[in-house]
Amino acid sequence: GQNIDQPTEMTATEGAIVQINCTYQTSGFNGLFWYQQHAGEAPTFLSYNVLDGLEEKGRFSSFLSRSKGYSYLLLKELQMKDSASYLCAVRDAAGNKLTFGGGTRVLVKP
């Protein structure tokens, strides 16, 4: 089975940096994903890691350590529009489906 943990909520100030951690315990692993979801809207894809290391994409970066079962999403230069839930998800070994964590709600304050 899959067990994915991430903090429930985080608060940060506009212009600052926030790091959202995700730990996972899975029976198989074929990639880790981060999605952003604004309230009442569809989740949208942010990043994908399958090898250890850091993937950078503009203000967002994602890191993976497979040996530790650990990932983080780093949001830099926070903007008010970054207030959303951030969902960590692991793909199973067969590559068939994503299993999601409970999501981290990030509130950006002025």
Binding site for other proteins (CB under 8 A): 31, 33, 35, 41-45, 48, 87, 89, 91, 95-103
Tokens at 29, concatenated: 């692993």
Nearer to other proteins, 75 or 85 (CB): 85
Q: Which two tokens stand for residue 54?
A: 């850091």
Q: Which two three-digit tokens encode residue 86?
A: 């951030």
CA angle 85, 91, 92 (to 5 degrees): 140
Cα within 13 Å of Cα(47), Cβ side: 24
Residue number, 73 or 89, with CB nearest to other proteins: 89
Q: Closest CB to other proteins among 33 and 63?
A: 33
* Minimum distance of other proteins from residue 83's CB (angstroms): 15
For residue 15, the minimal CB distance to other proteins (Å) is 27
Closer residue to other proteins in complex, CB, 45/79? 45
| Nearest-approach distance from CB 30 to other proteins, in angstroms | 9
Strand order in the sheet with 18-26: 2-5, 18-26, 70-75, 60-65, 53-57
> First and final CA of the chain: distance in angstroms?
41
Minimum CB distance to other proteins, residue 102 (Å): 4
